Structure 1
Amino acid sequence: MMFKRLTLLLTMCCSLFAHSGFCAELDWSTFKQRFMASDGRIIDTGNHNVSHTEGQGFSMLFAVAAKDKASFDRIWQWTNKYLRDRQTGLFYWRYNPVEANPIADKNNASDGDVMIAWALMKAAELWQDKSYQAESDKIIHALLKYTVVNFAGHQIMLPGRLGFRDSHALTLNPSYFIFPAWRAFAERTHLAQVWQLIDDAQTIMGQITWGRSDVPTDWVTLFSSGKTAPANKWPARVSYDAIRVPMYIKWDQPNNPLLARWQNWFERYPRTQTPAWENVLDGSVANYPMGGGLLAVRDLTMGQFGASSGKITPQDDYYSASLKLLSALAAQRF
């Protein structure tokens, strides 16, 4: 009888979220089984089984959405124990379990830090635990101290505190502009600096008018003059990083005019023939199409997100599955 009741409850849950393709309990269960170690480490199966703050933060957010406190605590405790930089209050971005020194690079990745802080904020609200909020507040203030700079008349969040700035230019990753999280931080702190961060990041993306598509590449250079260009240390591609940009914009403001640029790019191709990447300078494209989580973001951006868009399949690696669950949460405005 108890099993039947649980099954009925799960069915009702899936029906409730059918419009977004996301049933928190079912999809989170699949994600955990495939990508979460028993100690809370999230395994990037498409990247030599390393772990990073991005994955820890994503998964903390998924656990909150699924109301899975036990898993949330395991993920957070592992993250805090192994990745916390006690000097800055931020987190070392990458952990490789097979290396003698699993944390060789002591830099942070601001998107991972933002996701962790945002998940803690949501956990504090859901489970009424002030300790989560206290930790979130510490991370937010560390981010503002170490990664947010004033440059070319803009408030900018660097991809990490080290290595992305010189006297005449910054290197930016627009997929690290997690607008719904930033907005939550602004509403929490009431700091004009955070509101300005949101406005200036959108202004910068609005000024990207190079290439065929007017959408940002994975990595962007912002010059002291205020002009932008594809960062020359990486291919000038709209690719696996930049695909997150429209997802975060849609999550934050579904009617944001910046989405039209992405919609125009996607509309150039039939859905199942959309290339996985495009070089904005020479027009070359991948010889293979988007699949999995990339298509989930496309569906979300085009207003076509459905049950199949968010379903994790055996073919999805960690990143593809993450994009599917993130897109589903974005569709819900979680």
Structure 2
Amino acid sequence: MLILCSAQAAASDGWNRYKATFLSGDGRIVDTGNNNVSHTEGQGYAMLLAVHYDDRDSFARLWKWTSTHLSNPQNGLFYWRYDPAAANPVADKNNAADGDVLIAWALQRAGEKWNNADYLAQSDKLQRAIVAQDVVTYAGHTLMLPGAQGFNKTSYVILNPSYFIFPAWRDFARRSHLKVWNQLIDDGLDVLGEMQFGASQLPLDWVAMNADGSMAPATAWPPRFSYDAVRVPLYVWWYDAQSLRLTPFQRFWGNFSRLRTPAWIDVIANESAPYNMDGGLLAIRDLTLGDTGNLTESLSERQDYYSASLQLIVWMAWQER
């Protein structure tokens, strides 16, 4: 009983520290590593965590701020970025598909856990908008583009594999019975198998898929397996912890001792970051390699928003195994 109480206290401490550090009074998640902006990714992660920690009040605040400040009435999605210092905080009217998926997933989970019909209805509506605006058939594959605007170049499309949130798509398929979600899962896993670049055989943060299905680095970004693509093994593991799609990550990270694992690698030049993983990045590495004894939801005071979010999301995934 004492051990259980201690575990519960630690759980509460991790989530409470997260809220105290990143959640404003009105329900906005502040990205402390990015000029204190907010974005749908952060709102979605925090909403998922609020459901996990059974925190209805925080969830309601997060959802109210998100729906009030980021809703795009033109297409049913959400503006991806909010800059409180700008004259127009949502100057960029595009969405981010991963943020929308995370929000829809959190709403579905909240509705199911707390028997809230409105949350479920909002999730269903958002899921339909995501399919209508972000999902395309290209080169024989059903794919989710990173956003509704700017990623379909006709002769090629730009993909961000860290936006392939397989466990969310599985939950959407279970609820809606729409075939598109299972098609996204199957084709997303297939496409990941082709995103193996350089000697490391790792995917890039941003990838161009040509009309014939071939892959190349997207030219507007460095050819790195970095802060975006590091989430790919997390979402694959959360969907299927035995998936062969985890092998390239396990092989690469297995070459380094735990605390000397580089934070990113330029997969074309085969040059690693001059600093190592810690915090949330290290948690993903530990989960992927089965080094789960190191997983914790205790956050350090120096962690920024992204590191802390990933660490708690990894813990959530591990608890759901």
Q: CA deviation at 1:15?
A: 3.3
Q: 2:37 is matched with which residue?
A: 50
Among 106, 115, 122, the residue aligned to 1:135: 122
Q: 2:159 is matched with which residue?
A: 172
What is the SS of the residue equivalent to 1:187?
helix
Q: 2:191 is matched with which residue?
A: 204
Q: Relative to structure 1, is the Cα distance of residues 189 and 308 closer, same or farther in structure 2, using a 3 angstrom cutoff?
A: closer
Tell me if structure 1 keeps the 8 A contact 2:280–2:310: yes
TM-score (norm 1): 0.93
The letter for the 2-side match of 1:149 is V
Work out the CA distance in 2 between the residues paired with 1:329 and 1:13. Answer: 18
Tell me if structure 2 keeps the 8 A contact 1:296–1:310: no
> More deviation in 130-139 or 183-192?
183-192
Aligned pairs (5 A) from 1:87-98: 87-98=74-85
Q: Deviations over 1:102-150 (max 9, x none)?
A: 0010000000000000000010111101000000000000000000000
Q: 1:39 is matched with which residue?
A: 26
Work out the CA distance in 2 between the residues paired with 1:259 and 1:240. Answer: 17
Work out the CA distance in 2 between the residues paired with 1:311 and 1:229. Answer: 39
Work out the CA distance in 2 between the residues paired with 1:210 and 1:33. Answer: 40
Q: CA deviation at 1:23?
A: 4.9
Work out the CA distance in 2 between the residues paired with 1:318 and 1:219. Answer: 22
Tell me if structure 2 keeps the 8 A contact 1:92–1:105: yes
Q: 2:106 is matched with which residue?
A: 119
Among 162, 179, 186, the residue aligned to 2:173: 186
Q: 2:4 is matched with which residue?
A: 12
Tell me if structure 1 keeps the 8 A contact 2:11–2:297: no
Q: 1:148 is matched with which residue?
A: 135
> More deviation in 304-313 or 137-146?
304-313
Matched, 1:66 2:66: no
Q: 1:4 is matched with which residue?
A: none
Q: Deviations over 1:23-71 (max 9, x none)?
A: 5422111100000000000000000000000000000000001100000
Q: Relative to structure 1, is the Cα distance of residues 134 and 301 closer, same or farther in structure 2, using a 3 angstrom cutoff?
A: same
Work out the CA distance in 1 between the residues paired with 2:95 and 2:243. Answer: 30
Q: 2:215 is matched with which residue?
A: 228
Aligned pairs (5 A) from 1:175-324: 175-306=162-293, 309-324=296-311
Tell me if structure 1 keeps the 8 A contact 2:286–2:294: no
Tell me if structure 1 keeps the 8 A contact 2:141–2:187: yes
Work out the CA distance in 2 between the residues paired with 1:246 and 1:51. Answer: 25
The letter for the 2-side match of 1:95 is Y
Q: Relative to structure 1, is the Cα distance of residues 154 and 13 closer, same or farther in structure 2, using a 3 angstrom cutoff?
A: farther
What is the SS of the residue equivalent to 2:229?
coil
Tell me if structure 2 keeps the 8 A contact 1:172–1:219: yes
Tell me if structure 1 keeps the 8 A contact 2:197–2:204: no
Among 21, 24, 27, the residue aligned to 2:14: 27
Identity within the alignment, %: 50
The letter for the 2-side match of 1:190 is H
Q: Relative to structure 1, is the Cα distance of residues 127 and 13 closer, same or farther in structure 2, using a 3 angstrom cutoff?
A: farther
Matched, 1:79 2:66: yes
Tell me if structure 2 keeps the 8 A contact 1:295–1:309: no
Work out the CA distance in 2 between the residues paired with 1:161 and 1:266. Answer: 34
The letter for the 2-side match of 1:15 is A
Q: CA deviation at 1:185?
A: 0.6
CA RMSD of aligned residues (A): 1.5
The letter for the 2-side match of 1:241 is D
Tell me if structure 1 keeps the 8 A contact 2:195–2:204: no
Work out the CA distance in 1 between the residues paired with 2:135 and 2:319. Answer: 29
Tell me if structure 1 keeps the 8 A contact 2:287–2:295: no
What is the SS of the residue equivalent to 1:26?
helix
Among 80, 87, 90, the residue aligned to 1:100: 87
TM-score (norm 2): 0.97
Q: CA deviation at 1:13?
A: 5.1
The letter for the 2-side match of 1:286 is A
